[in-house]
Amino acid sequence: MALRAKPAISWLVAIAVMAALPHWLNAYWLHILATSWYYAILAVSWALLAGFAGQFSFAHMAFAAIGGYTSGLLAVDLHLPVPLGILCGVASAALVGAAIGWLCLRLRGPYLSLFTLAFALILQLIIIAEYQFTRGSLGLSVPGLFGGNSDLPYYYAGFVLVLASLAIMGALLRSRVGLFLRALREDEDAAEASAIDTSYYRILVFTITSAFAGLAGGYYGHYVGILSPNIVTIPEMGLVVAMAVVGGIENLPGAAIGAIFVFVASEALRSGGQLRFVALGLVIMLTQRFAQNGLVVLAAARLARATRRRAPSPKTATG
């Protein structure tokens, strides 16, 4: 019972620290952390899709753009309240994700990756071409979620969204759906032979993860105040994949921590210019070589071993 309580206490302490952190940050780093919540939601949802269901999609940023642009256009053109617009963006991303999942039913491995990459590139071209609606490369200005110029409300809103996303996706993985998704990842043919409706669960996981990507896009758009086609670029998708890999592709909280770590570290090393990307590449290479389950899992295991060594044995404690 005590062993089970320790992780819960650790998470409660971490949440309390993150909730109090803005009081020790200047405006710049508060903005950086508020932006990192966007990447955290993307990394967690991509980890669910790729790490637990085995579906390697490169269209995740496209779904974020769908969520962001849907919400932004509804707010600008129809003057819809921003929270309602974000919900519509989530629904739009989920519907498109379901359609992509259905179209990719017969595609696996590199073919699935290429299909989703092509979809993302096509969406980027559509955003650029439809200038009269999206403002093209100039970017679409959208209203903020909160009034005023403070980043503090966005910090807490994004933090709550990350926690809610982790809770929902974690509950999903602990259910029968999570078991079927893992079966899909391990051997799709064997899962189908075991009477698991693999088509249904592929569409389901695409729908769910696309919805969360749309939620991230809506939050990001109304936080920074502008949406551009740069949100759908290949480097952005590569960054999200790197965040999930560094944190742990089969560990949802690890993927979130990896996203925050990579984004904050890249900003801290911004003065080094392009060398920061070299540093990120080295971190990914070392992670794949020495910690394939992610640096967060490795650090937690090392910490647990160190704690066990320091803890007195029962005989010492009683004697």
- Summarize pLDDT for 268-289 with one digit per residue, the tens: 887 766 777 777 778 777 776 6
Per-residue pLDDT, 301: 62
Query: H/E/C letters for each residue in the chain?
Result: CHHHHHHHHHHHHHHHHHHHHHHHCCHHHHHHHHHHHHHHHHHHHHHHHHHHCCCCCCCHHHHHHHHHHHHHHHHHHCCCCHHHHHHHHHHHHHHHHHHHHHHCCCCCHHHHHHHHHHHHHHHHHHHHHCHHHHCHHHCEECCCCCCCCCCHHHHHHHHHHHHHHHHHHHHHHHCHHHHHHHHHHHCHHHHHHCCCCHHHHHHHHHHHHHHHHHHHHHHHHHHHCEECHHHHCHHHHHHHHHHHHHHCCCCHHHHHHHHHHHHHHHHHCHHHCCHHHHHHHHHHHHHHHHCCCCHHHHHHHHHHHHHHHHCCCHHHHHC
- Does some domain include residue 81? yes
Q: What percent of the chain has pLDDT over 90?
A: 58
In Å, how far are 44, 229, 271, 287 from 246, measured between CA atoms?
12, 26, 22, 6
In the predicted structure, residue 2 carries a pLDDT above the cut 60: no
Residue ranges making up the domain that contains 40: 26-232
In the predicted structure, residue 1 carries a pLDDT above the cut 50: no
pLDDT, tens only, 131-145: 899 999 899 999 998
What is the chain's mean pLDDT, rounded? 87
In the predicted structure, residue 308 carries a pLDDT above the cut 70: no
Per-residue pLDDT, 12: 85
Phi-psi sector, 144: left (phi>0), alpha (psi -120 to 50), beta = beta
In the predicted structure, residue 298 carries a pLDDT above the cut 70: no
pTM reported for the whole predicted model: 0.90
Pick the more confident residue, 200 or 6: 200
- Does some domain include residue 164? yes
pLDDT, tens only, 88-118: 999 999 999 999 999 988 888 888 999 999 9
- Does some domain include residue 210? yes
pLDDT, tens only, 242-262: 899 888 888 899 999 999 999
- Does some domain include residue 252? no
In the predicted structure, residue 215 carries a pLDDT above the cut 90: yes
- Does some domain include residue 311? no
> Which of 13-17, 34-38, 254-258, 274-278 is predicted most confidently?
34-38
Domains identified in the chain, total number: 1
Q: How many residues are present in the chain?
A: 319
Q: How far apart are CA 41 and CA 166, in angstroms?
A: 8
- Does some domain include residue 65? yes
- The pLDDT confidence band at residue 14, using thresholds 50, 70 and 90, is confident
Per-residue pLDDT, 11: 78
In the predicted structure, residue 3 carries a pLDDT above the cut 70: no
- The pLDDT confidence band at residue 192, using thresholds 50, 70 and 90, is confident
- Does some domain include residue 52? yes
Question: Average of pLDDT values for 305-316?
Answer: 58
Question: Average of pLDDT values for 35-59?
Answer: 94
- Does some domain include residue 213? yes
